[in-house]
Amino acid sequence: MNAGPADREQAVFAALADPTRRALLRSISSGEANTPTELAALLPVSRQAVSKHLAQLEQARLVDAERSGRCAFRPRPRP
């Protein structure tokens, strides 16, 4: 079952409601860091916490994960 526009909008707002996720998006968008380990080094949270936040950003389709040897995230182009 595909999520409708209202579901997508709710997921985006829920993802952006958290200041840690907004900080992660800023770091990824700026190219400052893109792996969970690099991102965790910039924030006062663990790598595991970063991974959980990134999963929510990916679920909201705000970032894409690239898993080839190591996991890297990049901003997702707007549809």
Q: What is the pLDDT of residues 11-62, one digit of tens each?
A: 999 999 999 999 999 998 888 888 899 999 999 999 999 999 999 999 998 8
One-letter amino acid for residue 26 of the chain: R
Residue 79: pLDDT band by 50, 70, 90 thresholds? low
Residue 70 pLDDT exceeds 90: no
For residue 70, the cross-strand partners are 68
Using a cut of 0.85, tell me whether the model's pTM lies above it.
no
Cα torsion at 5, 61, 32, 37 (round to 10°)? Answer: 140
Given a contact cutoff of 8 angstroms between Cβ atoms, the answer to whether 67 and 25 are in contact is no
Q: Domains of the chain (ranges plus CATH)?
A: 5-75 (1.10.10.10)
